[in-house]
């Protein structure tokens, strides 16, 4: 009689679990049932653990991941407005290595709470047995903070997924990322639509981002499309395109940043820029009124290149000595303080007349820097006349960031 009751109880539990996954207007969740029956508690079944759960589709209810289960993202996972994705410390979430259509997106009005620790970081990675850069899309956050690609409360749409972002809520809150590592991401849908490791679209200052590392991404490591979010303790290792990228009027703070390039053994060049910085997106134009340009404050940075004699990543025009650390263009502004860079052909490459105007107005400045194995400290392609002393003060005084301390234990070195 107990055996019959036990079988019936298990079937009811499975039925309840199936219904709960099918009645919330989300995509199907496939569960491999590896439950364990507790035979020491009157044969009563316990909550299922050790399950493998595949995730994709748009979720209109919050999703709380269980550290006892395994989760695989096998398509676009979109958290809709009003929902929260909660990821416990120490969890590794794997993505099918299927390219740009596999990503996690936190839509406007939604949140992600992914708070790991130095001893138990949260890892988003490829599920391939031999993972490669570009195996999947990465993590996308979309908020309601301003972007100069649009006017007022209007919204723009993301490159991947066509999701709305932007507005006028500077302190918008998209949740929290702490001690998070994102690996083998950055798959591109086409030449104009590219995923990054972490894409931040109009993300507001109410969002907490600290201790985040991007490893071996196909495109940019972290890209800011407008927004006001402040981020700290950022590490980008071996990005094939730019490591840190901003555009569309981004105006937050970046504090304690470590970038390391690794020579690609299969080609004759290495990573692209450590920083690529635009005042606005020239595809859409600067639609803010009055005009607003990107103007972040960047403090405590160490950039490690592969040597001044190596090559800039540009398959159509590879030439020695043009390997750049930081490119400043399309009117970007910004104050860089305590910057240490090693092993580049060019330290700073400035383009566009509006960028030059920022230097002359003291809105684009370098305060404290240490160059090691850098052939050309500044290249002025702006069309405006200024000296290196107008742009850089405190040459030889910087110490960079203490990555050995804050990156210990949870990062890939």
Provide DSSP, 290-316.
Answer: S------EEEEEEEE-S-TTSB-S-TT
- DSSP reduced 3-state for 7: helix
Which range, of 69-73, 307-311, 345-349, 353-357, averages the lowest pLDDT? 307-311
Write down the pLDDT at residue 193. Answer: 64
Instruction: Give tens-digit pLDDT for 179-205.
Output: 999 999 988 766 556 789 999 999 999
pLDDT value for 12:
37
How many Cα atoms sit within 13 Å of 360 on the Cβ side? 12
Select the more confidently predicted residue: 105 or 100.
Answer: 105
CA dist 128 and 306 (Å) reads 28
- The pLDDT score that the predictor gives to residue 38 is 30
Is this structure's pTM higher than 0.85? yes
The 10s digit of each residue's pLDDT in 49-65 is 789 999 999 999 999 99
Prior bond of 347 cis (ω within 30°): no
Q: Which of 38-52, 312-326, 386-400 has the lowest mean pLDDT?
A: 38-52
Q: What would the pLDDT profile of 221-238 be if each residue is shown by its tens digit?
A: 999 999 999 999 999 999
pLDDT for 360 beyond 80 = yes
Q: Band the pLDDT of 10: cuts 50, 70, 90.
A: very low
Q: Please tell me the total number of residues recorded for the chain in this structure.
A: 413
Do the bridges between strand 193-194 and strand 188-190 make them parallel or antiparallel, or are there none, so unpaired?
antiparallel
- 292-339 per-position pLDDT tens digit: 999 999 999 999 998 887 765 554 444 555 789 999 999 999 999 999
The pLDDT assigned to 42 comes to 39
Select from 28, 47, 50, 30 the least CA-distant residue to 38.
Answer: 47
Over residues 73-88, mean pLDDT: 98
- What pLDDT score was predicted for residue 89? 98
pLDDT above 90 covers a percentage of the chain that reads: 75
Give me the percent of the chain exceeding a pLDDT of 70.
83
Residue with tokens 């490829």: 126
**Partners of 32 in the beta sheet?**
52
Tell me the average pLDDT across 210-222. Answer: 95
């Amino acid at each position: 009689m107990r055996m019959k009751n036990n079988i019936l109880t298990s079937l009811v539990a499975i039925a309840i679990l199936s219904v709960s996954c099918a009645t919330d207007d989300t995509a199907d969740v496939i569960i491999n049932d590896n439950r364990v029956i507790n035979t020491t508690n009157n044969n009563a079944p316990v909550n299922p653990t050790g399950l493998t759960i595949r995730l994709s589709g748009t979720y209109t209810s919050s999703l709380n991941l269980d550290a006892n289960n395994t989760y695989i993202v096998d398509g676009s996972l979109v958290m809709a407005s009003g929902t929260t994705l909660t990821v416990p410390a120490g969890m590794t979430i794997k993505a099918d290595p299927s390219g740009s259509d596999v990503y996690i997106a936190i839509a406007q009005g939604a949140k992600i709470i992914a708070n790991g620790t130095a001893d138990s970081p949260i890892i988003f990675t490829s599920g391939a047995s031999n993972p490669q850069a570009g195996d999947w899309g990465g993590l996308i956050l979309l908020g309601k903070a301003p972007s100069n690609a649009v006017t007022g409360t209007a919204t723009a749409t993301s490159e991947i997924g066509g999701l709305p972002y932007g507005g006028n809520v500077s302190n918008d809150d998209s949740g929290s990322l702490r001690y998070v590592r994102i690996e083998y991401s950055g798959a591109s849908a086409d030449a104009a639509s590219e995923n990054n490791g972490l894409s931040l679209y109009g993300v507001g200052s109410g969002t907490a981002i600290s201790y985040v590392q991007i490893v071996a991404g196909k495109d940019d490591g972290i890209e800011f499309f407008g927004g006001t979010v402040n981020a700290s303790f950022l590490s980008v290792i071996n990005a094939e395109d730019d490591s840190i990228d901003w555009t569309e009027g981004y105006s937050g703070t970046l504090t304690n940043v470590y970038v390391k390039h690794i020579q690609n053994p299969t080609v004759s060049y290495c990573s692209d820029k450590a920083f690529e910085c635009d005042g606005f997106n020239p595809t859409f134009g600067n639609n803010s009124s009055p005009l607003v340009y990107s103007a972040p404050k960047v403090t405590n940075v160490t950039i490690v290149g592969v040597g001044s004699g190596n090559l800039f990543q540009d398959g159509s025009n590879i030439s020695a000595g043009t390997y750049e650390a930081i490119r400043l263009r399309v009117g970007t502004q910004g104050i860089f303080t305590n910057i240490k860079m090693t092993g580049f052909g060019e330290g700073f490459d400035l383009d566009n007349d509006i960028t030059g105007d920022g230097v002359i107005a003291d809105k684009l400045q370098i305060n404290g820097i240490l160059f090691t194995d850098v052939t050309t400290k500044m290249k002025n392609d702006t069309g405006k006349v200024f000296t290196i002393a107008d742009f850089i003060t405190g040459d030889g005084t910087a110490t960079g960031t203490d990555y050995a301390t804050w990156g210990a234990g949870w990062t890939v070195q």
